[in-house]
Amino acid sequence: MADETSSPSDAQSSAQDAPPSTAAQPLGEPLVELRDVNKHFGDLHVLRDINLTVRRGEVLVVIGPSGSGKSTLCRAINRLETIDSGEILVDGEPLPQEGKALARLRSDVGMVFQSFNLFAHKTILDNVTLGPVKVRREKTKDAKERALALLDRVGVGNQAHKMPAQLSGGQQQRVAIARALAMHPKVMLFDEPTSALDPEMINEVLDVMAALAKEGMTMIVVTHEMGFARRAANRVVFMADGQIVEEAHPEEFFTAPKSERAKDFLSKILTH
Ligand SMILES: Nc1ncnc2c1ncn2[C@@H]1O[C@H](COP(=O)(O)OP(=O)(O)OP(=O)(O)O)[C@@H](O)[C@H]1O
């Protein structure tokens, strides 16, 4: 399906080559809200007074130099990291601390990591059905049907009975996306989902993500793929040293960045 709905892309192309953003409009009410969020790792202040609201249907791309706190921001929204102060709300509710409420949050906030994180000893189909059956208490038959439909949707329906190691990195990452979608998430977090992939597999994953964006999925995407940001994002957030330095529509950000930090960052990555 991704192949039918998304425009062709070239992940290696610079942002200037990409068509303008096609993300769904208009945006809904706030779905993820961060208020004055701070986080330290020892003496390192990794998130500094972060204030950010992501609306339903919005595709937010987070970019910035290595170590600027992008992953930590993403992980804090899924409560894979705790925060020291401030508040994070998902759909109006503060993040739960533990137990069933935390499991429910993790279904509401789907996460796709750089390293796929599939269960190595389970088939592709089991990888996608396990969460819905164990956490959401869906009937196995229903969960399997939906899993097969999702695997089809990300272009790996014919791989359902294989083991993860039999699939390419790009295929495994698409399975990871299907697995997160199987939990009926309200928002999807992507933490550098293509960074571990061979170059020829990057586009197949970005195309699935762009198709999701077009369908109106709320997404927060940490990525170095500027072409994706340009074509799929409603908004780009640029982070440096744990702070949001600049945020803008991708068109504006890539053509006329305001801060020196962003100009410097873009000049380095867009010339590669
Ligand atoms: N668990 C941890 N313990 C200690 N320091 C950490 C931990 N996780 C991250 N850091 C440090 O926090 C800072 C921010 O890391 P983070 O991974 O959020 O940055 P990033 O912007 O995602 O970087 P990259 O683009 O390289 O992935 C870095 O200096 C990192 O070394």
Residue ranges per structural domain of the chain? 53-268
Structure ipTM: 0.96
Q: What is the pTM of this model?
A: 0.89
Distance CA 21, CA 201 (A): 22
Q: Which of 62, 66, 189, 221 is the pocket-test mutation for ligand 1 (most atoms within 8 Å of CB)?
A: 66
Q: What is the CA radius of gyration of the chain?
A: 18
Q: Which amino acid residue places its CA nearest to atom 5 of ligand 1?
A: 41
Class of 53-268 in CATH: alpha beta
Ligand 1 centre distance from Cα of residue 189 (Å): 17
pLDDT per position as a tens digit, 119-159: 999 999 999 999 999 999 999 999 999 999 999 999 999 99
Contacts of 260 (CB under 8 A, 6+ apart): none
Q: Which band of pLDDT confidence, cut at 50, 70 and 90, is reported for residue 111?
A: very high
Interatomic CA distance for residues 121 and 227, integer angstroms:
35
Give the pLDDT confidence of 211-229 residue by residue, as tens digits: 999 999 999 999 999 999 9
Distance of alpha carbon 108 from alpha carbon 105, whole angstroms: 5
Q: Which has the minimum average pLDDT: 12-21, 94-103, 161-170, 230-239?
A: 12-21
Query: Residue whose CA is closest, atom 16 of ligand 1?
Result: 69
Cβ contacts of 58 within 8 Å, gap of 6 or more = 23, 27, 31, 218, 219, 234, 235
> Ligand 1 site: residues with CB under 6 angstroms?
41, 44, 46, 64, 66-72
Say how many Å lie between the CA of residue 51 and the centre of ligand 1. Answer: 19
pLDDT at 260: 95
